[in-house]
Amino acid sequence: MAEDDALITQWMFQYNPKWYDLEASIKRSLTEDWTMYRHRDHVRVGQRIYFMRSGGDKAAITAVGRMASLVYERPEETDKFRRYWVDVVYDELVVPPITRPEMREDEDLEDYHPYVTGLFFSAFRLPPEVALRTEQMVKGRTRPIGPSTVAVDKRIFVSHSLQDAEFCMRLVRDLRKALGGHDDTVWLDQSGGLKGGMAWWNEICDNIRDRPVFIVVVSPDSMKSNWVRDEIELAWQYKNNAPSGKTVIPVIVRATKMHDYLSLRQAISFAAPRPYDEGLRELLIALNLAS
């Protein structure tokens, strides 16, 4: 398959409401993992997904989202159909849903059996003409449920020392996933202040100014870093002086004495022995990305 074809591929993911409540899941998190056995080699990040509730004539397309990862394995899983997974992000609800009776009456969809009669599988790679017609039908019915607004309101700057780079890269990946999978949602200076130069400092200043959320990764190394101190002081100025303010969140990866500015904020600990996933969940709740 050509890469250009992969990028325009669209999907239908089917769920049984007796076993799974999509609406309730969306309220808990904008992202989720789904099993992905068939056609998994065709998956690319960003491809559109239509989520379809099964159930006879009550079947309907209820939500729209996107692929947020490539397919990955869970080696410990012995069931081959549950061994392969993909992360998705939910973007919009379809209101009112596109029902199965509507599909049966549409000349472009009436012969597509996964829509009009239902098939057992959970993931379907849509034929181009079906994808185009589905896209036309949902237009005007969608209501944003997350990334279309969150990506604007929750863009994040992460300040850190180079010694904490491994933790930071993991955290940034998880935050980007929670914000819809786009790299621009979280800004990280991967050089840890080593790149230098006025142009680079100006770019850092612009991103601290423009991003409503400032996260500083706290460790003995970051608290000794003049570079991190400068970023904290700049963020604090915008917190107090910018019209829209700024959210400043200390994230503790290794315990140490924090700068006075940070000691006034509620910190979130990732420090051992606390599990990483527990700290991440607390951080996502603080950012209103989970409940």
Q: What ranges do the domains of the chain cover?
A: 3-145, 148-286
Parallel/antiparallel/unpaired status of strands 213-218 and 10-15: unpaired
Parallel/antiparallel/unpaired status of strands 142-144 and 84-99: antiparallel
Tell me: pLDDT of 43 over 60.
Answer: yes
Helix axes 276-286, 165-178, angle to 10 degrees: 50
**Is pLDDT larger for residue 80 or for residue 43?**
43
State residue 252's pLDDT score: 94
State residue 239's pLDDT score: 73
Reported residue count of the chain is: 291
Task: Give the pLDDT band (50/70/90) at residue 184.
Answer: confident
Tell me: pLDDT of 102 over 60.
Answer: yes
Tell me: pLDDT of 213 over 60.
Answer: yes
Task: Give the pLDDT band (50/70/90) at residue 180.
Answer: confident
Tell me: pLDDT of 149 over 50.
Answer: no
Task: Say which CATH topology domain 148-286 has.
Answer: Rossmann fold (3.40.50)
Task: Say which CATH topology domain 3-145 has.
Answer: ph1033 like fold (3.10.590)
State residue 151's pLDDT score: 37
In the chain, % of residues over pLDDT 90:
40
State residue 199's pLDDT score: 76
Distance separating alpha carbons of residues 64 and 255, to the nearest angstrom: 42
Helix axes 198-210, 226-241, angle to 10 degrees: 40
- Are 178 and 30 in contact by the 8 Å Cβ rule? The answer is yes
**Structure tokens, 74:** 């869970």
Residue 119 CB burial class (10 angstroms; 0-12, 13-18, ≥19): exposed
Task: Give the pLDDT band (50/70/90) at residue 11.
Answer: very high
Residue 50 CB burial class (10 angstroms; 0-12, 13-18, ≥19): buried
**Is pLDDT larger for residue 198 or for residue 132?**
132
Could you tell me which of 107, 125, 100, 108 has the C-alpha nearest to residue 50? 125
Distance separating alpha carbons of residues 222 and 235, to the nearest angstrom: 15
In the chain, % of residues over pLDDT 70:
88
Cβ-Cβ contacts under 8 Å for 203 (sequence gap 6 or more):
none
Tell me: pLDDT of 21 over 70.
Answer: yes
Could you tell me which of 60, 46, 59, 120 has the C-alpha nearest to residue 88? 46
Average pLDDT, the chain: 84
Distance separating alpha carbons of residues 115 and 101, to the nearest angstrom: 10
Residue type, 121: F
The b-or-e profile of 58-95 (16+ CB within 10 A means b, else e) is ebbbbbbbbbbbebeeeeeeeeeeebbbbbbbbbbbbe
Least confident of 10-24, 33-47, 56-70, 133-147: 133-147
pTM of the model: 0.53
State residue 291's pLDDT score: 61
